[in-house]
Structure 1
């Protein structure tokens, strides 16, 4: 029976892990697609703004290169902002965990103190 429960738990953990990996990969693919769409929109906007079609070949290549650099810079800034937000979330989560562990420690200390103070009155009622 215990072995069956242990095997079932292990299978559930494996399934949860696999689901997590699948979700992570889907999210990564969605982010890449979103970034590519963003890049395409920016390039189209820049091209429209400068009316690239009206320029001669050399100027057009230079302008397109300039646009590509600008787009990459904007995307990198976006990535950095996203990374900064993720790091902030991690720090907040760690702080919450630290506060929760402090709360648990205080509750446990108080529980122990109450038990010490009132244990003699509860002698027949406490579990072994």
Structure 2
């Protein structure tokens, strides 16, 4: 009886240890959707690449952002639709035993037009392929 309990416990520990990945969200290619508040209904998309993810930071499209647990914030400098990049404030998540990650939250984007500075904002979702 003790042997069976020990065996089952060992299997659960091995499964749990192998499913734990310290690099969350994992490195790889992602797809981003950015929905603007104003002008309403404008949606822009971008290819996103995460090259590094640790406890305190995440590198998205070459930009280092702060990471605290599930919270991610900072500026993605290199994004296809924005000349000056976007500031994001969001959280990452994934379903149990899934390797598909999602980062959701809000963003702001500064831009210049006619010599004047403006700012757009909205929500975003970045999902793994």
Q: Going by fraction, where is strand more abundant, 1 or 2?
A: 2
The TM-score range, normalised by the shorter chain, is under 0.3
Higher relative contact order (CA 8 A, sep 6+): 2
Structure showing the higher helix proportion among its residues: 1
Which TM-score applies when normalising by structure 1?
Answer: 0.27
